[in-house]
Amino acid sequence: MSVPSRRTTVAVIGAGHSGLAVSHRLGAEGIDHVVLERGQVAHSWRTQRWDSLRLLTPGWMNRLPGLADPLLGPAEADEFLTAAQVASLVAGYADVIAAPVHDNVEVYRVSPGQNGFLVETSAGPWTAEHVVLATGSVRGVVPTLAADLPPGLPSVHAIDYRRPSRLPPGGVLVVGAAASGVQIAAELQASGRQVTLAVGEHVRVPRRYRGRDIFAWIEEAGILDERWDELEDVTRARRLSSFQLVGGTTTLDLNTLQEAGVRVVGKLAGLRDGSALFSGSLANLAALADLKANRLLSGIDQTFGGTGERLEPTRVPEPLLSLSLTSGEIGSVVWATGIKPDHGFLDADVFDHKGAIRHHGGITDLPGLYVTGLPVLRRRRSTYIDGARDDSADLVEHLSQHLATPARRTAG
Amino acid sequence: MTETTVDNGVNVEALLGARAALQETPEAAKFTWRATNTWVKGTHSKSKVEGFFGLGEEQEAGRSFESDGDHPPQFAADNQGPTPVETVLVALGGCLTAGVAAVAQQRGIQLNSVTATIEGDRDIRGILGADADVRNGFTGVRVNYSIDADASPEDVEALVAQSQKRSAVFDILTNPTAVSVSVS
């Protein structure tokens, strides 16, 4: 005996900004759909962000299709929303566009079948002609060597970190120097703890350049609109760590962190006999990041004329190659080592050998299956909330041209 | 517009083709490198390099290289070859310079000359057992490049930085490696 399944033309999985933008486009095309959400709208913004986090991107980059400007705050202001404000923005957006969200519905399994897809959920099964995966990057990644941490040493991934007082007493080893790592390191050091920051490959940019926010320049230079299929190495672009930035007007980099007292060490390369071993490659990684940052600034000058100040070279401290994790100096470890999507519920042959979903600008090899809300999905802008506008338009255009029958559309 | 041909003697197309192919067949990318070493006398030994495993099979054709390792008279030795630690410096220089050439080729930069000086500092009380707190290996390694290329100083710096990022020996020296030694 089986439970009769409900039918829909499109099942959108995930009610974050990406899934909702797709929902808005589908609604505008009169395409019948549902948005299935494991928790509440903007779930990960409510449950997987630390208290002090602000967006890296200024307020004018919070554009969403079908949402009037007033919900966003002044479009020109360099205003950086907190996680709670993003959750409110996205929840307000769901209301404004009247998205057909089914909340607290967990998707157990999505599998291709005779007539589209079977979507098995905690609220029973659905059949859908098309499925759009919009679950975002919700899984904290830790390196395999994390298993070798000394027993009893507490560790937490950045998505589960909330505030300094939640960590046990003592110094903190923060692993990773992308946006999360440098922000958490700064906050912990300011709270009176000695932070050691392990730095691998990172992307340094100044918060402001020639009197403007860096994203204003990147936007005007057209960099955010560079398409995925025109990039020299899209695989690399997609796995590049986030800009070393904090929302606001101040620059946060390895120099400012060292001025605040943070001890900067190389990439965490191993754990042996209770000690962390750090790579001796820090000087080169700092040099690579400095060169790349200055190339960006030179490119801005060439595009717009004029010149600005180049970045002060990253100060590389005397190398520290190992640190005991059992002496009591280090009381906890924070993994700021990235986030990835979790498409484990998808039962279909669409994954590459590294377990990532194979797609061409969000269109998978399985007809009817789409993915969105991933870094550099269709353009560099896709990495940010601001990417949902164009990505949703492109994907829904593709989808609408592949409807089984126009009759699947409703009157809207 | 004039077309200039950059030729550093590196077949970048073949390397990029291999990279693309190996992304699809990661098994073929697993290589095992090998050397044999035979004691001669005192601290003098001879090393030989011939075949290796890679691209899914044994690769043996047309390779046989020998080198000597020894120590200088200051170590009461016969000076029949470079010390093993100098061979490590040689390996680092060889690896980084190969990388400089390959990256330059890919970036369309003509190299005219490339010279590197590689220095490693050691406190030999470590190997002599004179002070248990002193490490056996290098306390630091410095590499200095002099490069004449048709490129800006920033582009040359970027070449050298990228070469380090892609270098096997740089990685071997900067990161820990598990080593097991057995006796048969």
Specify which residues A243 forms β-bridges with: A203
Q: Which amino acid would we find at residue A363?
A: I
**Secondary structure of chain B: what % helix, strand, coil (to 5)?**
35, 25, 40
Which pLDDT belongs to residue A77? 65
Do residue A284 and residue B173 have CB atoms under 8 angstroms apart?
no
By the 8 A CB rule, do A200 and A176 touch? yes
* CA of residue B142 relative to chain centroid, distance: 14
Mean pLDDT of A268-287: 95
Phi-psi region of A161 (alpha: psi -120 to 50; beta: other; left: phi over 0): beta
By the 8 A CB rule, do A352 and A176 touch? no
Q: List CB contacts (< 8 A) between B171 and chain A.
A: 281
* pTM for the whole structure: 0.91
Q: How far apart are CA A85 and CA A91, in angstroms?
A: 10
Do residue A279 and residue B175 have CB atoms under 8 angstroms apart?
yes
Q: Which amino acid would we find at residue A115?
A: N
Poorest-pLDDT segment among A263-272, A375-384, B24-33: B24-33
Using a 10 angstrom Cβ sphere, with 0-12 exposed, 13-18 middle and 19 or more buried, the burial of residue B14 is exposed
Mean pLDDT of A172-188: 97
> Where do we find the tokens 């929840």?
A91
Which pLDDT belongs to residue A374? 96
Q: Tell me: the pLDDT tens digits for A104-121?
A: 999 999 999 988 999 999
Interchain contact A143–B (C-beta under 8 A): no
Which pLDDT belongs to residue A1? 44
CA dist list (Å): A374 to A19, A222, A357, B6: 11, 20, 10, 38
Sorting pLDDT into bands at 50, 70 and 90, what band is B62?
confident
Please say if the pLDDT value at position B130 is more than 90.
no
Q: How far apart are CA A328 and CA A171, in angstroms?
A: 8
The residue ranking higher by pLDDT, A3 or A180, is A180
Q: Tell me: the pLDDT tens digits for A57-92?
A: 998 899 999 987 656 555 556 789 999 999 999 999
Half-sphere exposure of B143 (CA within 13 A, CB side): 26
| C-alpha distance from A279 to closest chain B C-alpha (Å) | 5
What percent of chain A has a predicted confidence (pLDDT) above 90? 90
Q: Which of B26, B154, B171 sits opposite A291 (nearest CB)?
A: B154
Sorting pLDDT into bands at 50, 70 and 90, what band is B141?
very high
Q: Which amino acid would we find at residue A214?
A: I
Q: List CB contacts (< 8 A) between A319 and chain B.
A: 140
Mean pLDDT of B43-64: 92
Q: Tell me: the pLDDT tens digits for A15-33?
A: 999 999 999 999 999 999 9
Mean pLDDT of A352-365: 94
Sorting pLDDT into bands at 50, 70 and 90, what band is B1?
very low
Do residue B162 and residue A288 have CB atoms under 8 angstroms apart?
yes
Which pLDDT belongs to residue B9? 86
Q: Please state the three-class secondary structure of A246-315 as a single string.
A: CCCCCCCCHHHHHHCCCEEEECEEEEECCEEEECCCHHHHHHHHHHHHHHHHHHHHHHHCCCCCCCCCCC
Taking one residue from A and the other from B, the number of pairs with CB-CB distance under 8 angstroms is: 42
What rounded mean pLDDT belongs to chain B? Answer: 92
| C-alpha distance from B149 to closest chain A C-alpha (Å) | 18
- In terms of Cα–Cα distance, which of A53, A39, A51 is closest to A94? A39
Which pLDDT belongs to residue B24? 76
Tokens representing residue A129 in the block: 């002609």
Poorest-pLDDT segment among A241-250, A263-272, A394-403, B20-29: B20-29
Cβ neighbours around A280 below 10 Å, total: 20
Mean pLDDT of A219-241: 94
Crossing angle (nearest 10°) for helices B84-106 and B153-165: 120
The secondary structure element, H or E, covering residue B86 is helix B84-106
Please say if the pLDDT value at position A46 is more than 70.
yes
Interchain contact A279–B (C-beta under 8 A): yes
Which residues, other chains included, contact A166 with Cβ-Cβ below 8 Å and sequence gap of 6+?
Answer: none
The b-or-e profile of A63-86 (16+ CB within 10 A means b, else e) is bbbbbeeeebbeeeebbbbbbebb
Q: Please state the three-class secondary structure of chain A as a single string.
A: CCCCCEEEEEEEECCCHHHHHHHHHHHHCCECEEEECCCCCCHHHHHCCCCCCECCCCHHHCCCCCCCHHHHCCCCCCCCCEHHHHHHHHHHHHHHCCCCEECCCCEEEEEEECCEEEEEECCEEEEEEEEEECCCEEEECCCHHHHHCCCCCCEEECCCCCCHHHCCCCEEEEECCCHHHHHHHHHHHHCCCCEEEEECCCEECCCEECCEEHHHHHHHCCHHHCEHHHCCCHHHHHHCCCEECCCCCCCCCHHHHHHCCCEEEECEEEEECCEEEECCCHHHHHHHHHHHHHHHHHHHHHHHCCCCCCCCCCCCCCCCCEEECCCCCEEEEEECCCEEECCCCECCCCECCCCCECEECCEECCCCEEECCCCCCCEHHHHCHHHHHHHHHHHHHHHHCCCCCHHHECCC
Please say if the pLDDT value at position A191 is more than 80.
yes
Do residue B176 and residue A281 have CB atoms under 8 angstroms apart?
no
Which pLDDT belongs to residue B18? 81
What rounded mean pLDDT belongs to chain A? Answer: 93
| C-alpha distance from B132 to closest chain A C-alpha (Å) | 17
The b-or-e profile of A353-383 (16+ CB within 10 A means b, else e) is eeebbebebbbbebebbbbbbbbbbbbbbbb
Q: List CB contacts (< 8 A) between A294 and chain B.
A: 154
| C-alpha distance from A289 to closest chain B C-alpha (Å) | 10
Q: Which amino acid would we find at residue A319?
A: P
Which pLDDT belongs to residue A302? 95
Please say if the pLDDT value at position A404 is more than 90.
no
Please say if the pLDDT value at position B3 is more than 70.
no
Q: Which of B154, B161, B176 sits opposite A269 (nearest CB)?
A: B176
Interchain contact B161–A (C-beta under 8 A): yes
Which pLDDT belongs to residue B27? 85
The residue ranking higher by pLDDT, A286 or B5, is A286
Which residues, other chains included, contact B99 with Cβ-Cβ below 8 Å and sequence gap of 6+?
Answer: B162, B163, B164, B166, B167
CA dist list (Å): A328 to A84, A170, A322, A324, B62: 35, 7, 15, 8, 56
